[in-house]
Amino acid sequence: FNIDGMKPYKSSNKALRPILCKVYFEPNIYEPFTVALYSGTHKPKSLEQYLNKFINEKNKLLYEGLIIEETQVLIKIKSFICGTPARSYLKCIKGHISFDGC
């Protein structure tokens, strides 16, 4: 998974905060895809609000798996890959370049 933020245009005051997923499978034929998307003029005020639906669905998939063509496929999370700002936001800590960060 990857969580990040980006502006669709340089001059835009809106930002997109997607949660992306990549299926890890050999051969490596799957492209990353969006599983959730937040749009707004600032970061979501509540991390719980931002991640609530994602976490509920992730937990259901981890415990129940996924049925594809009458076959149960077990889901396992390999990693979350985030840049420093997103990682700090997810951990609810100040980043290393924030006011009094070091």
Per-residue pLDDT tens digits for 41-85: 887 888 888 889 889 999 999 999 989 899 998 888 888 888 888
Q: Does 6 reside within a domain?
A: yes
Structural domains in the chain (count): 1
State mean pLDDT over 93-102.
66
> Is 76 part of any domain?
yes
Q: Does 98 reside within a domain?
A: no
The two three-digit tokens of residue 94, written as one number: 């100040």
**What DSSP character marks residue 10?**
T
Task: Tell me, yes or no, whether 97 lies in a domain.
Answer: no
> 3-state class of 91 per DSSP?
helix
Scan for tokens 């609000």, then name that residue: 49
DSSP secondary structure, 23-39, as one string: ---SS--PPPEEEEEEE
Q: Is residue 100 part of a domain?
A: no
Range of the domain at 69: 2-91
Q: What is the 3-state secondary structure (H, E, C) of 41-81?
A: CCCCCCHHHHHHHHHHHHHHHHHHCEEECCEEECCCCCCCE
Model pLDDT for residues 1-47, shown as the tens digit of each residue = 888 888 888 888 888 888 999 888 788 888 999 998 888 888 788 88
